[in-house]
A = this chain, B = another copy of it.
Amino acid sequence: MFLDTDAIKRSLAGSGLRSTPQRYAVMAFLMEQAEHPTAAEIFEAVNRVDPRSSRATIYNNLRDLVQAGLVREVAMEGRAARFDAKGTRHHHFICDRCGNVEDLEWYDVPRPAAASLGKRVLRECELIFRGLCTKCAPRRASRQVF
Q: Which A residues have a C-beta under 8 Å from some C-beta of B? A: 73, 75-78, 81, 91, 93, 96, 102, 104-105, 107, 109-113, 116-134, 137, 141, 143-146
Contacts and interface: CB of A to CB of B under 8 A. Distances in A.
A143 B125 CA distance: 16
Contact of A137 (B111, B113, B120, B145): B120
Contact of A145 (B102, B105, B122): B122
Given A120-B133, A121-B132, A124-B129, 12 more contacts: A77-B81, A109-B127, A111-B146, A118-B134, A119-B134, A120-B131, A120-B137, A123-B130, A123-B146, A124-B130, A125-B146, A126-B129
Contact of A125 (B102, B129, B137): B129
Given A116-B104, A120-B137, A137-B119, A73 B77 contact: yes
A131 to B, nearest CB: 4
In the complex, the count of this chain's copies comes to: 2
7 contacts: A75-B77, A105-B116, A109-B110, A111-B146, A112-B129, A122-B131, A122-B144
Given A107-B112, A112-B105, A116-B104, A128 B128 contact: yes
